[in-house]
Every structure is written in structure tokens, then in C-alpha cells.
Amino acid sequence: MNLLESLPTVIGIAAVAPALLVLWLVIAADERPGPPGLVWAAFLLGVISISLLGLARAPFASMAGLSGNPWLAMLLHAIFGIAAPEEIVKVLAILAIATQRARSDDPMNTVVYGAAVGLGFAAYENLVYLVKFPEMWRSLAVLRSVLTVPFHGAVGIIAGAYIALARSGGALGAHRRDSYAGIKTAALIVLAPVALHGCFDLPLLTLQQYPEIQGLPRRLLEATGLFVGFGTIFLAARLVWRIGAHHAPRSEASRQRLRQLRSMWALLVAGGGAGFVGTAFVLSSIHHWFVNPDRNVTLVLIPLGLVSIAIGLALLLLTTTAYILGRNRLRRYAPALASAFGDF
């Protein structure tokens, strides 16, 4: 089964669904959500960015061979063979989306674009791993959805936060007096994600390279990987909270629009998920129809799949219609609503 064939299956759902769920959580934390089209474009760019890894790895190809020490060689491989190429292509994807907006754009939007790029990358990588190891895809899906997928999203958030800071200057509410602050911020756009990714991968690479490590050393390496992974997620969550709090809406009109957009994002995710599950049921049932002589289950699953697809399409159409009508209504009444609440 190749990657495209595996998408409309349970494995495909297990690979993609965690990334979409984390993306929705990040969007829900945004006080003023940006254009949904750019968010989805960022997610797709994150998927496509994997195709650029070969080019990104080329300049670092000889780094691991610079040292005869196996431990140092492993460190160089973790940083320059894995972390640096992956984070560079993701940063380029974030910049490609962020630069489509003006510098005065809400800095939180760039953070969301960073999360979307990182999660798009994670979704495709997840699919590759689950298809590569079909005999253990269930346990692998659980482990990656709990840590690896949120970690990629968190690293994207951190890169997006530093890009927002470099572009707008006050994205985190900081008052910088250092004349070199701009240079340090620009450097951290790449260095911070690469350093965190390298520290996360190094213990895992060590365990993979030396499976004979057991006992306390193995537990320490596992604990280090978990500490770096969840620590990165915590750092990203803190950045999201700080930027969101600093740029909270200051009018009732903004809060009403925020509540509408959050509800619509939830319905869009539910509609997309229902349609995806229904498609998986239908295609899997058609496959079993040809290979399984017992076709009774297939006859039941196909109608269920069609119903799920219909529900998903209905949710998407209703949400899109509500968004268009609600956007026009909010634009019409926002000035009056803001002035009315400003009198109190």
C-alpha cells in the first residue's frame, strides 16, 4: 500500500486526524483568527515542504563524517542530518505564507501559520511511518499523536512567534533596548527550532543505534526525550498564551466575531472529519467487496459511509453559508455595537 492509497483508510485517519485536532486547538486560542484559506495553504505547504528535504540536506551531507567519534557523529547527524534540514524547509514555508500579509497584521496569525506548517509536515511524516510499519501502526499512531505530532506543531509555533516578533517588534509585548535584538530574533527563527529538534532526536537516535542500552541509562534517555518534547510543547503553549493575551479583542464586536469563528472552525473540522471517515468506509468496503467472500458487512458499511459523507458535506456547506452571511452582518453592525458598549 502506497501513501496515496493509504489516505482514505483507518491508517490515513489515524495519521492525519491528530494534526488537524492540534491545529484546531491552536486556532481556538487565537483571539482574532486570520483567513482560513491561508491557514489551509500553510498546512498544505507543510506537507509539500517534505519534498524539499533532499535539497535542504545536501549542504549538510558531510557533517556527520567530520568526526570519528561515534557519539559526536550521532550528535552532528541529529542536528545537521535531521533537525536543520527539516526546520529550514518549515521556516521557509512559514515565511512564504506570513509575507503574504502586511507587517501590521495580527502577530498571532503568523503563529497559527507556523503551527499549520509544522502540523502539515507532521501529518505526512505520520502517514509515512504508519504505512512503513503496518504491523504496529496502532501503538505507533498513539505514541506519535501524543508527542511527535504536537512537538512538530510546537516547533512551528516557536518559529512563527519569532518571525512575528521580527516583523512587528511588539508581538510578545516585550520592551527591547538591546540594539542587537533584531539580529538575535532573526537568528532564533532557525536556531531555536533546530536546537530543540536536535535535542529531541538525539536520545531517540541513541536508543535506536544502541538497542543494547538497558536499565537506568535507557530510562534516562527516554526521560530526556520526553522532557524535551513536552517542554517544547509547554514553551509553545506559553508563547500562544502570551501573544493571545497581549492582542486580546477590546470590543464586544470583536468578541462576538471570535465566538462565531471558533464555532465555525469546530464545525468545519467536524464536517471534514465526517466526510473523511465516510470516504474511508466506502473505499475500504469496496476493497473488501472484491477480496472477501463474506459481503454482508460490506453492505452495511457502504450506506454508513455514504451517510457520513452526506453529513460532512452538509456541515461544510452550512458552515460556509453561515460564515458568509455572518461576516456581512457583523461588518454592518460592528461600528454600532462597538460604540454602544463604549458608552459604559
| Residue 265: band (very low, low, confident or very high) from pLDDT cuts 50, 70, 90 | low
> Would the pLDDT of 109 be above 60?
yes
What pLDDT is attached to residue 182? 72
How confident is the model at residue 273, as a pLDDT?
A: 64
- The contacts of residue 82 (CB under 8 Å, 6+ apart) are 197, 198, 201, 205
Provide the grid cell at 169: 517588534
Instruction: Report how far residue 220's alpha carbon sits from residue 228's, in angstroms, rounded to the nearest whole number.
Output: 12
Angstrom distances, CA of residue 120 to CA of 21, 39, 193, 312? 12, 10, 16, 21
- What is the enclosing helix (H) or strand (E) of 153? helix 149-168
The more confidently predicted of residues 124 and 101 is 124
Q: What pLDDT digit, counting tens, does each position of 185-204 carry?
A: 888 899 999 999 999 999 98
Q: From CA 207, how far away is CA 327, in angstroms rounded? A: 53
The whole-number average pLDDT for the span 115-139 is: 83
- Distance, in Å, from the CA atom of 106 to the CA atom of 129, rounded to the nearest integer, reads 36
- Binned at pLDDT 50, 70 and 90, residue 344 comes out as very low
pLDDT at 283 > cutoff 80? no
User: pLDDT of 3-17, one tens digit each?
Assistant: 545 555 566 666 777
At residue 343, does pLDDT exceed 50?
A: no
- Determine the average pLDDT of the residues in 111-120: 91
Whether 133 shows a pLDDT value over 60: the answer reads yes
Q: Are 240 and 26 in contact (CB under 8 A)?
A: yes
Task: Kindly report, residue by residue over 202-237, the tens digit of the pLDDT.
Answer: 998 888 888 888 888 888 988 998 899 999 989 988
Pick the most confident of 20-24, 39-43, 279-283.
39-43
pLDDT bin (cut points 50, 70, 90) of residue 337 is very low
How far is residue 179 from each of residues 35, 161, 184, measured CA to CA in Å?
A: 34, 20, 10
Q: How many helices (H) and strands (E) does the chain have?
A: 13, 0
Helix (H, G, I), strand (E, B) or coil at 344: coil
- Distance from C-alpha of 50 to C-alpha of 46, rounded to nearest angstrom: 7
Kindly report, residue by residue over 152-175, the tens digit of the pLDDT: 999 999 999 888 888 776 545 444
Give the residue from 276, 305, 313 showing the smallest Cα distance to 289. Answer: 305
Among 22-36, 46-60, 90-104, 200-214, the range scoring the smallest mean pLDDT is 22-36
